[in-house]
């Protein structure tokens, strides 16, 4: 029996089993000619989309069709990413936005909405949780200076007010990615990210310094913080 077993073992050939996986295309390859003609600084977006951390995109331009959220939703969908983009704004803005973003329908599973008119503490906690999960927050321009998450006492005692995106950045340790209209043409400018780790001190004080850097990148003056 031992000799027979050895013969069988020698002649036995193990089958080769191959597993195929769905290969995700690179993000850069998904940007169309139209995308590159519409946005400047796509490399900044690419870097952050490839990171496991979340990112806070702070929009400082009016875009009724929300072309950047649509682009991001499309990329997330086509790369089979588990990430999601959450648009933050007041209820009225979100209602209008949902109607204008009809072309996002094929990628709607990659988009969510957060209403700043809801309970503030709950919203802050939700935002931080989303960022911890690696999701993206897209802050509408009307929220940038209008929503003041955090401790009321800080806002009442400080003359200078931080951007809500900077407060969320300090709480979550995720970067802020400023977006604005270009000053030289009609393209949308995706600026360099501003990181929370560049500042030391309390959350509020660090958020003020981080806001200054964001506004400097956008070439805005400090009167916008009032």
Q: Express each pLDDT in 174-189 by its tens digit.
A: 999 999 998 888 899 9
Residue closest to 176 by CA, chosen among 99, 74, 108, 88: 88
Count of all residues that appear for the chain in the document: 226
- Using CA atoms of 65, 69, 72, 78 in order, give the dihedral in degrees to the nearest 10: -60
- pLDDT of 43 > 80? The answer is yes
Label residue 18 by pLDDT band (50, 70, 90). Answer: very low
- pLDDT of 77 > 50? The answer is yes
Average pLDDT, the chain: 83
- pLDDT of 226 > 50? The answer is no
- Residue 137 and residue 128: Cα distance in Å, rounded? 10
What domains are there in the chain, each with its CATH number?
26-225 (3.40.50)
Contact between 46 and 177 (Cβ < 8 Å): no
Among residues of the chain, what percentage have pLDDT more than 90?
51
């Amino acid at each position: 029996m031992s000799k027979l077993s050895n013969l069988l073992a020698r002649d036995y050939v193990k089958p080769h089993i191959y597993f195929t996986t769905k290969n995700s295309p690179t993000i850069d390859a998904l940007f169309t000619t139209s995308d590159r003609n519409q946005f400047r600084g796509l490399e900044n977006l690419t870097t952050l989309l490839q990171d496991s951390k979340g990112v806070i995109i702070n929009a400082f331009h009016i875009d009724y069709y929300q072309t950047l959220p649509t682009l991001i939703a499309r990329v997330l969908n086509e790369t089979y990413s588990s990430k999601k983009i959450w648009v933050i704004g007041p209820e009225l803005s979100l209602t209008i936005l949902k109607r204008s973003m009809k072309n996002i329908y094929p990628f709607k599973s990659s988009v969510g909405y957060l209403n700043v008119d809801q309970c503030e503490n709950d919203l802050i906690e939700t935002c931080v949780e989303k960022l911890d999960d690696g999701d993206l927050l897209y802050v509408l321009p009307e929220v940038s200076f209008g929503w003041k998450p955090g401790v009321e006492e800080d806002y009442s005692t400080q003359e200078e007010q931080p951007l809500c995106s900077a407060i969320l950045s300090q709480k979550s340790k995720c970067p802020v990615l400023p977006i604005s209209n270009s000053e030289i043409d009609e393209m949308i400018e995706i600026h360099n990210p501003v990181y929370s780790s560049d500042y030391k001190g309390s959350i509020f004080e660090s958020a003020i310094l981080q806001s200054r850097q964001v506004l400097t990148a956008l070439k805005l003056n400090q009167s916008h913080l009032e």
